[in-house]
């Protein structure tokens, strides 16, 4: 399958999407590909001059090899770290998927691969009737799911996988990221996910490990890099 890039989704917020997205950008850049990162919607930012900057979006920008206008990298950015649709309402802004698609197409014209990182989980609302999965479908990207390995991850991962299938999206693979150093029965949880998720495990990250420890062979084969 050929694709312009990949969408990094998470089983929840704070599960390591940015770590995985940045690692993938760096890995593809080392292979000589022109790579761009994108965070379509971000909530939680600090003011840099006259521009609100989200640290996840900045990490993607730093890992990319394509320099692009900030408004393409992060079309929507809101200061408070709250649900994006609420932050947008408070700012008097309506998130428009067409604006996100236009920015993505600008990046696609300049890059061999684009790594797009979601906000929160796959079904996080963006407006009253649009969620992040709708954006994934609009951009027509395969999904890599970052599973935050902690108590409760099995249901979160399986429900997200069901949502991916129900929306007709492509499930390219998943990453197990240990975010709880005290999690019990990690191996048993991983074994169940490997049996039940209809996509290959791209890698497993130990607690505190760098994303560079991932083995991207499966995903590279998917993209025929």
pLDDT of res. 100? 98
User: Is the pLDDT score of 211 beyond 70?
Assistant: no
Active-site position among 17, 19, 39, 150:
39
pLDDT of res. 169? 97
User: Is the pLDDT score of 161 beyond 90?
Assistant: yes
Quote the pTM value: 0.92
The answer to whether the Cα torsion of 69, 114, 87, 135 is positive or negative is positive
Q: Which of 108, 184, 100 is nearest to 135 (CA)?
A: 100
Q: What is the mean pLDDT of the chain?
A: 91
CA distance 190 to 85: 33
CA distance 208 to 205: 8
Sequence spans of domains, the chain: 5-223
76 phi/psi in degrees, rounded to 5: -125, 125
Mean pLDDT of 85-105: 97
pLDDT in tens, 47-66: 888 788 999 999 999 999 99
Residue 2 a catalytic site member: no
Domain made up of 5-223: CATH architecture: 3-Layer(aba) Sandwich (3.40)
Radius of gyration of the chain (CA): 16
Tell me which H or E stretch contains 137: helix 132-139
């Amino acid at each position: 399958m050929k694709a312009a890039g990949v969408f990094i989704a998470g089983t929840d917020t704070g599960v390591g999407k940015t770590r995985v997205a940045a690692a993938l950008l760096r890995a593809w850049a080392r292979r000589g590909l022109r790579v761009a990162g994108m965070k379509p919607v971000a909530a939680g930012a600090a003011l840099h001059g006259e521009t609100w900057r989200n640290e996840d979006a900045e990490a993607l920008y730093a890992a990319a090899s394509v320099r692009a206008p900030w408004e393409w990298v992060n079309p929507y950015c809101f200061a408070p770290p709250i649900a994006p649709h609420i932050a947008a309402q408070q700012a008097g802004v309506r998130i428009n998927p067409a604006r996100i698609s236009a920015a993505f197409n600008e990046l696609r014209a300049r890059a061999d691969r684009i790594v797009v990182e979601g906000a929160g989980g796959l079904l996080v609302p963006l407006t009253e009737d649009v969620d992040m999965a709708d954006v994934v479908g609009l951009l027509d990207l395969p999904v890599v799911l970052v599973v935050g390995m902690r108590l409760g991850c099995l249901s979160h991962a399986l429900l997200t996988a069901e949502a991916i299938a129900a929306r007709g999206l492509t499930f390219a693979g998943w990453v197990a990221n240990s975010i709880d150093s005290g999690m019990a029965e990690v191996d048993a949880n991983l074994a169940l996910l490997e049996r039940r998720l209809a996509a290959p495990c791209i890698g497993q990250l130990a607690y505190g490990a760098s994303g560079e420890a991932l083995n991207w062979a499966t995903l590279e084969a998917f993209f025929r890099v």
